[in-house]
Structure 1
Amino acid sequence: MTRSSDELHGITLLGSQNVSYRTEYAPEVLEAFDNKHPGNDYFVKFICPEFTSLCPMTGQPDFATIYIRYIPAEKMVESKSLKLYLFSFRNHGDFHEDCVNIIMKDLIALMQPKYIEVYGEFTPRGGIAIHPFANYGRPGTEFEQLAKTRLFAHDARA
């Protein structure tokens, strides 16, 4: 199944050789495309092992692997735009928990997914590792309950 040019309208970064890597927070670089299978419930998972941001107090870099899992509805995030968006956190000063929640909220605004979760596995600094987890399930649907179940069960071994 191929996509028509109408279906690809608005996808400007994929295949472009003139891409600018923004180093300040830039949610406007996110792009979405139509999900051809909105009636199917399935997970899409991204693993981003080179995420960096800055400590808002010291300015020191923080490094993380960011895991994004979502069940799409009508729209899906285009992966190159996601890469550029995550890169834009490079000089963004915020706490780990804030970064994870910002990423989740920006992706909700872009796609309106049925379900989404964002997990940050930040490398230890000062002997402490921080691993924030944020999720969302569309209110009034079975995905709202899924969000609660996954939140309460997340990292239950600790």
Structure 2
Amino acid sequence: MAGRDESTLHDLTLLGNQNTVYDYSYNPNLLESIDNLHQGRDYFVKFNCPEFTSLCPQTGQPDFATIYISFIPDRKLVESKSLKLYLFSFRNHGDFHEDCVNSIMMDLVNLLEPRYIEVWGKFTPRGGLSIDPYCNYGKPGTKFEQMAEQRLFQHDLYPEKVDNR
């Protein structure tokens, strides 16, 4: 199996950078990609971000969530440090939970053009109500378009036991 060499990493500006700047305002330009060396295979890549924060656009109160991102890559993967900094950039961003989750998905679709992606936000309750938006995307004209429809219709048929809120 071929490994990565400098030529596959030359576009990365954040990984290994000791002078990281944290952007506190929503910034999709932080996202960086690397080549998928396993394009001939379908496989999931999953990220869990248990420390996601954003702000309510009306009250300015903080909202906290675990963001789950799962995708089947095509030609590109998201570089994980850039993803962390991107998710961190929501810290002072005022938007509703549904908007944050959809923005994350669409920013990753625009960057990666994945075969399939889903993003699920598990927000902690405020005022006795938690909101858990889910969205997904399958590449049009492929089997992943049908997969997206099936997973959307069935994603919450068996709700998990919630013991962390």
TM-score range, shorter chain: over 0.9
**Alpha-carbon distance in 1 for matches of 2:135, 2:40:** 25
Regions of 4+ moved over 3 Å:
none
**Bigger shift: residues 9-18 or 135-144:** 9-18
Name the counterpart of 2:156.
155
Q: CA deviation at 1:6?
A: 1.6
Partner amino acid for 1:101?
A: N
Cα deviation, 1:59-118, whole Å, max 9, x if unaligned, reads 000000000000000000000000000000000000000000000000000000000000
Name the counterpart of 1:25.
26
Q: CA deviation at 1:157?
A: 3.5
Q: CA deviation at 1:2?
A: 2.4
Partner amino acid for 1:105?
A: M
Partner amino acid for 2:93?
A: H
Q: CA deviation at 1:135?
A: 0.1
Name the counterpart of 1:71.
72
Please give the secondary structure, in 2, of the residue aligned with 1:6: helix
2:86 counterpart of 1:85: yes
Name the counterpart of 1:136.
137
- Same amino acid, percent of matched pairs: 67
2:55 counterpart of 1:54: yes
Aligned residues: 158
Partner amino acid for 1:94?
A: D
Structure 2 gaps of 5+ residues are 160-165
**Alpha-carbon distance in 2 for matches of 1:71, 1:157:** 23
Partner amino acid for 2:49?
A: C
**Alpha-carbon distance in 2 for matches of 1:66, 1:88:** 14
Please give the secondary structure, in 1, of the residue aligned with 2:152: helix
Give the TM-score taking structure 1 as reference length: 0.98
Partner amino acid for 1:22?
A: D
